[in-house]
Structure 1
């Protein structure tokens, strides 16, 4: 197995380098800056290949011989499509760590046919907020049966964001531009269905806002639901007002190891069916950036070893949801589905 990693010199990319090295996977690091790539590869023995994101031929050549590509370089709406295109051209499966809802829809709309024709599988959104939320939503849907609505709430607390995450957070798209699924398609909408959400073990309920969460773009592709929307827990007034690029540039690249360990995240999903019947599911963990590296590396390993249908797939279409969540349980992630 040979994996190509694009974005290796970034914060999440370096965590992916460490995970690939820990698992002893043959890896090539791809990017435009040799010095930063060599720094990221230090002590691993990984090969380094230079390629310009905007030079399709050089990027495709850099992915040559790889069974799969991991892309951790965002903002994906601006930087992602050339990497997907080059991976498909190189005949390599593709996984990324995007959390950008509108970009995920773009990947499905743009690359499904090309990936199927090339015989490769493309799976966007394999990060802490995307993969687990898609998996638990699928399991909740299985337990619920016919559903009227499916709501996903995500809550981060503790820890800190990276500069890359903040640069990817377009407040107009994340909040006001959030898409809701209904009537067979995705549209913007007005007020969220909830102002607060009861997360497991928390009292009182937590304030939530409507938000452009990844599972809203992926889950309706594999479960039947009348309406689905996403909620983000906590107060994000600063993000809603936007953060000046100069302010972001002055911040640390990302949380240090201790801050990462202190960061906690919870995904809470509720399905409502006829007669008011409700099924809930939760996934909880710590160190979202570290878990993202684990999720992305495990995803490409499963694609290479087990295969999946060619084309662009949601996480639960490419992987068995319960099996993947059980794997994450070995990394400190807790999950359950409750029928009530």
Structure 2
């Protein structure tokens, strides 16, 4: 089985391509820079692939193609089993890749964490994907799949959720250049919130001031976060309100200063950043996700997930999502992770990869504040 990784020569793309090869998939390395793609192909060829998923030789190919040529992009995708898009910012270059995958009749996954792009994919591509008979699953990365799946499990433990919270506590995260670029765009382009059973433009505020994360002595101050869970979770967990927050310390003084600068200056600064953390720093990043649902009867369910290595986790999640998508294809259309995959089963798969998770429903579970 051949998986096309678009944006393969970037920081996350290289990790994803390597993990797919390790899992026994043939990979097609696609993107704009032919030299970087060929260098990556040579690097991967020196590694031992995993056992083939289909009994055929595990191969590596390259396709040099840009998003400005839709016909060539669709041609490059034909014959693949899945397209994995890791090229961002998705708001700028993501739409042509989704459209080309659908045109080629190929399932599509991506690693975006850009909320507005995810909403656009649901709004504009649900019909075309369904008509083409393909599944389109955006936001298959660390910061969306675990939160989306955990919210699904928690939401199923209460009667008609009136309030649902997804909270992140992230530490020692050295962002890649691409993540900084996407995050800056997302934080300066507006957000959506989900309240009163529907989506509306957000104002950057949240009803939560702090969240009690396991292991923290005091409740942790939080801020509103433009997480794609705002777009994905209400599609599989009926709720009146959904909030996504993150520890306030994630916005460092340096990043806050970026938000005050002209866009052209910010672009130059980002272009001069390192492509991403080294292996040691990458593995040091750790995160906790809390999902808490409150039912109409006042009963609550609370899920907690711990893990580390944000970018390495994304590669593992993508490869497993590809495997599940092909082993048991979901219905056609645009789907959230929990609509495409069994939530508890996927979370259990992640446990040997450094994850731990648990859901409790005691009356005295610590609540967000």
TM class, shorter-length: over 0.9
Return the alpha-carbon distance in structure 1 between the equivalents of residues 360 and 309 of structure 2.
25
Say which is worse superposed, 109-118 or 196-205, in terms of deviation. 196-205
Shift of 1:241: 4.0
Say which is worse superposed, 229-238 or 323-332, in terms of deviation. 229-238
User: TM-score normalized by structure 2?
Assistant: 0.89
Whether 1:223 and 2:245 are equivalent positions in the alignment is no
Taking only aligned residues, the RMSD between alpha carbons, in angstroms, comes to 1.5
Q: 1:242 maps to what in 2?
A: 258
Whether 1:30 and 2:44 are equivalent positions in the alignment is no
> 2:159·2:296 contact (CA, 8 Å) conserved in 1?
no
- Out of 184, 187, 205, which is 2:197 matched to? 184
Shift of 1:273: 2.0
- Out of 101, 108, 119, which is 1:105 matched to? 119
> 2:159·2:297 contact (CA, 8 Å) conserved in 1?
no
Shift of 1:175: 7.8
> 1:5·1:71 contact (CA, 8 Å) conserved in 2?
yes
User: TM-score normalized by structure 1?
Assistant: 0.96
- Report the 3-state secondary structure (helix = DSSP H, G, I; strand = E; otherwise coil) of the residue aligned with 1:291: helix
Shift of 1:253: 0.8
Return the alpha-carbon distance in structure 1 between the equivalents of residues 116 and 258 of structure 2.
18
Whether 1:201 and 2:212 are equivalent positions in the alignment is no
Q: 1:84 maps to what in 2?
A: 98
Q: 1:316 maps to what in 2?
A: 338
Return the alpha-carbon distance in structure 2 between the equivalents of residues 152 and 288 of structure 1.
17
Q: 2:317 maps to what in 1?
A: 295
Q: 1:15 maps to what in 2?
A: 15
Return the alpha-carbon distance in structure 1 between the equivalents of residues 187 and 342 of structure 2.
29
Shift of 1:110: 0.7
Return the alpha-carbon distance in structure 2 between the equivalents of residues 189 and 249 of structure 1.
29
1:43-62 alignment, distance < 5 Å = 43-44=44-45, 45-62=59-76
Shift of 1:176: 8.7
Residues 175 and 321 (structure 1), Cα distance of their counterparts in 2 relative to 1, 3 Å cut? farther
Gaps of 5+ in 1: none
Shift of 1:145: 2.1
- Report the 3-state secondary structure (helix = DSSP H, G, I; strand = E; otherwise coil) of the residue aligned with 1:169: helix
- Report the 3-state secondary structure (helix = DSSP H, G, I; strand = E; otherwise coil) of the residue aligned with 1:80: helix
> 2:140·2:314 contact (CA, 8 Å) conserved in 1?
yes
